[in-house]
Structure 1
Amino acid sequence: QGTQYRSEEVMAWLNGREVTISMSRRGNCWDNACAESFFALLKKEWTKPLGTIERSDMGDEVRYYIDEFYPKMRRHM
């Protein structure tokens, strides 16, 4: 709900990359609970134990976590 998302320049940049903007309702922290939980697990389980690594290697690790590890180890019913 920040003003940066109303900027024409920012909107053009996001639209050019086919990014869908999603903002929760004002004062409702639960709208984002699933994403917050996922990113907390990603950081705690995967990226923090890696320590300092190259940016490209971190990208590979995050892709592996999202595509391989998370769906198999954290299946949701």
Structure 2
Amino acid sequence: IDCHTKAVIGWATDDNYKTALIETAITMAARNHQLTAGAIFHSDRGSNYTSTQFAATLKGLGIRQSVGRTGICYDNSMAESFFATLKNERVHRTVYPTREHARRDIARYIELRYNTTRRHSALDYRTPRQVHDEYLKKQPAA
């Protein structure tokens, strides 16, 4: 999640929660978005996030790693808030006949609703796309 725009910039789904799943999401973020040098990836202290394999992936992408304090959910509140929103607005309201249906529906929700049209109170009720576009307009021409 981009801290400035609140957009989900990297995501992945699978039937397991292994380090490779998280690597897929962070690689998507690095490839699809212009991350500045030294961008920070923050997470909780889950074993997947603190593994040497994941640390090597972040280093290879030029991303710095940050982890929250043990047992303090507020340190990772943006991620916690996103997942609560995803569950409340989509997952708990939908019956998925297959995992593939769920994956496609969640992808559509993230890309076509959450990132583009859903207003966020933390953004003065603007959308992540609006905040991103406003940021780009303020940048000097190259």
- When the two structures are superposed, what TM-score results if normalisation uses the length of structure 2? 0.40
Structure 1: distance between partners of 2:46 and 2:75: 16
Structure 2: distance between partners of 1:2 and 1:64: 27
Which residue pairs with 1:70 in the alignment? Answer: 114
Change (3 A) 1:62 1:28: same
3-state secondary structure, aligned to 1:73: coil
Structure 1: distance between partners of 2:106 and 2:46: 27
Runs of at least 5 residues in structure 2 that lack an aligned partner in the other structure: 1-44, 125-142
3-state secondary structure, aligned to 2:111: helix
Q: Residue 32 in 1 paired to residue 70 in 2? A: no
Counting aligned pairs with the same residue, the percent is 30
- When the two structures are superposed, what TM-score results if normalisation uses the length of structure 1? 0.66
* Higher relative contact order, structure no. (Cα contacts within 8 Å, ≥ 6 residues apart): 2
| Higher percent of residues as helix | 1
Aligned residues: 71
3-state secondary structure, aligned to 2:67: coil
Coordinate RMSD, CA, aligned: 2.8
| Higher percent of residues as strand | 2
